[in-house]
Amino acid sequence: MRIFVTGATGLLGRRVVQALCSKEHEVIIVSRNATRAYEHFNNASLEILEADVTQRGDWQTVASESDAIVHLAGAGIVDQRWTKSYKEVLLTSRIESTKHVAEVANKILVCASAVGYYGDCGNQELTEQDPAGNDFLARLCSQWEAAAQSANGRVVNLRFGMILDKQGGALAKMLPLFRLGLGGPVGSGKQYWPWIAQQDACNVVQEALHQDWEGVINVVAPEQLTSKEFARTLGRTMKRTAFFKAPAFALRIIIGEGSQVLTVSQRVKPSVLLEKEFQFQFPSLKDGIANNLKQC
């Protein structure tokens, strides 16, 4: 297949591109910084375009000629404080880029989304049939998915949970603290943290390309854990204590409104993946973390 990928230099994007290249697909990536992209993929056989997908451009012609588009672009949710201006960046990087991708996605569009769609739902088990929440992230995800659904081809919206990857993201930020024995639950510790091993997240993207999947899919592991259980499992796997709490008010002071990513509760079930009998490589957090720590 000829596959066009946005967000290729992001945490998941790098893994997806490497996997697609290993399967001998013809991969074209678009990046705002081609030099950085070449540094990431200097050993891979792929085509690299330099463009900003939040703007229309010649890149759309190349994308329209592809068999499928994997759209993973978007500014980091917790990379900066959520000022009014950064919220606009979060919206534009996802919604405007998705509108422009959808305009030329005439065959297959696999588009990232997030479990933030559901908002804060306490202990309620959430499936793909549940409605959107009403906080900023929920509204962002709802608009993001609606933009993707405007495409003429087959569309798959993947609602990712926390992707476990020692190379970046939440796990990479936690590991140094836990190595020092300073790790622990966040906030009350009672909120559910949906997660997925990076290998499984990458495999879901590939399955979405090749199988006749369509619509919304929760990309989370079947094991549902609270922040406290997550911290305890991570600590035990690393043979470290996990008693130190990060109070919700302290997180809000440090990273602002974006702290809700860690303090809200989303007990998400991968109903569609289970129905489709997707084979999770790492259905348990213990095994997912242990395997990640072995990876280079």
Q: How many helices (H) and strands (E) does the chain have?
A: 13, 11
Condensed to tens digits (0 to 9), the pLDDT of residues 260-275 reads 788 899 999 999 999 9
User: What does residue 189 show for φ and ψ, rounded to 5 degrees?
Assistant: 85, -5
Condensed to tens digits (0 to 9), the pLDDT of residues 198-227 reads 999 999 999 999 999 999 999 999 999 999
Cα gap 155→176, rounded to integer Å: 38
3-state secondary structure (DSSP) of residue 26: strand
pLDDT at position 178:
87
pLDDT at position 296:
46
Cα gap 250→93, rounded to integer Å: 28
Condensed to tens digits (0 to 9), the pLDDT of residues 77-105 reads 877 888 899 999 999 999 999 999 999 99
**Pairing between β-strand 26-31 and β-strand 154-160 as defined by DSSP bridges:** unpaired
C-alpha closest to that of 78 among 190, 236, 186, 201: 186
Cα gap 15→159, rounded to integer Å: 17
pLDDT at position 172:
83
Find all residues with CB under 8 Å of 242, minimum gap 6, and list them. Answer: 178, 183, 184, 185, 231, 232, 234, 235, 236
pTM over 0.85: yes
* pLDDT tens for the chain, residues 1 to 296: 999 999 999 999 999 999 999 998 999 999 999 988 988 887 667 999 999 999 999 999 999 999 999 999 999 887 788 889 999 999 999 999 999 999 999 999 999 999 999 999 999 999 999 999 999 999 999 999 999 999 999 999 999 999 999 888 888 888 888 888 888 888 889 999 999 999 999 999 999 999 999 999 999 999 999 999 999 999 999 888 877 777 666 566 556 676 778 889 999 999 999 999 999 999 999 999 998 887 64
Architecture of the domain whose range is 2-165+194-222+266-282: 3-Layer(aba) Sandwich (3.40)
pLDDT at position 140:
96
Domain ranges of the chain: 2-165+194-222+266-282
